[in-house]
Amino acid sequence: MLEPILRVEDLHKNFGDLEVLKGVSLSLSQGRKLSILGPSGSGKSTILRCINYLEEPTKGHIYLEGQLVGEKVVEDSHVRMSAKELAPQRAEIGMVFQNFYLWPHLTARENVAIGPQHVHGLLKKEALELADVCLEKVHMAHKREEYPERLSGGQQQRVAIARALSQEPKLILFDEPTSALDPELIGEVLKVIHELANEGRTMILVTHEIGFAIEVSDEVIFFDEGKIAEHGSPKDVLENPQQERLQSFLGKIMGD
């Protein structure tokens, strides 16, 4: 049996006295798409931030292609990696945030190129050529010389997706990528994510877009109070929810 591309084992995360993740374990195979749903404060965003070590787990381990992420074993103990050791691992896990975090003084093209230059050591010319390819993939080639302030929210998010793609990641994490957008701009971002899913990319998507989750996902997880409350196919979890908590959540989201 093939090793899953991602394996999360007994993950806990505390912020002071607040326990946000309470022993989360999951695995994801190459090319699979996983959507994570749940109420605010349930730990959805925290699990993504732990997976690529923007947050250090309090307990538990993360493996990408069988290799520990953010840690190394020294004399039978797990030791936190240095920032320099962690950087190439983090580059293998693309992250698309709720907010776009584009550099305002750089064009769309330069925003996408800066990562490959600094992380992968590409020459500027090579990085800009790669940026052009990535912007084309998200239908933003025509805006490549524009600065973020001249782009709509949906266009900025598509540039942010191109920036994640420029790292050529093995796994892409989407943290509610449409939550900061006006309703009329959501569709253009979901269209790009759907196209990437159809390419066979391995993805985890935190979202409230229930219909989209059903359409694009191989698996769905419902998070509640820092734990996985339900996990299964989109049809099982979203069309035939077992727990009253999930039924209530879906009713509120879908306006029933």
The CATH number of whichever domain residue 242 belongs to comes to 3.40.50.300
Q: Give the residue with greater pLDDT, 180 vs 125.
A: 125
Percent of the chain, pLDDT > 70?
98
Q: Residue 165: inside a domain, yes or no?
A: yes
Q: What is the pLDDT of residues 11-70, one digit of tens each?
A: 999 999 999 999 999 999 999 999 999 998 899 999 999 999 999 999 999 999 999 999
Spell out the residues 6+ positions from residue 10 whose beta carbon is closer than 8 angstroms to its own.
23, 24, 25, 59, 60, 61
Q: Residue 18: inside a domain, yes or no?
A: no
Residue 224: predicted pLDDT: 93
Residue 205 contacts residue 52 (beta carbons within 8 Å): no
Cα dihedral 110, 116, 119, 122, rounded to 10, equals -110
Q: Residue 184: inside a domain, yes or no?
A: yes
Residue 253: predicted pLDDT: 79
Q: What is the mean pLDDT of residues 175-200?
A: 93
Q: How confident is the model at residue 255 (pLDDT cuts 50, 70, 90)?
A: low
pTM of this structure = 0.93
Q: How many domains does the chain have?
A: 1
Q: Helices 153-165 and 108-119 sit at what angle, rounded to 10 degrees?
A: 20
Give the span between the Cα atoms of 159 and 144, in whole angstroms: 9
Quick check: 119 pLDDT over 60?
A: yes
CA dist list (Å): 21 to 45, 71, 112, 148, 177: 10, 19, 32, 35, 21
What's the domain range around 36? 30-51+94-253
The residue to which tokens 């349930």 are assigned: 42
Q: Residue 121: inside a domain, yes or no?
A: yes
Quick check: 256 pLDDT over 60?
A: no
Residue 241: predicted pLDDT: 86
Q: Residue 75: inside a domain, yes or no?
A: no
Q: Residue 197: inside a domain, yes or no?
A: yes
Q: Residue 6: inside a domain, yes or no?
A: no
Q: Residue 180: inside a domain, yes or no?
A: yes
Q: How confident is the model at residue 169 (pLDDT cuts 50, 70, 90)?
A: very high
Residue 1: predicted pLDDT: 54
One-letter amino acid of 88? P
DSSP annotation of 195 reads H
Residue 60 contacts residue 23 (beta carbons within 8 Å): yes
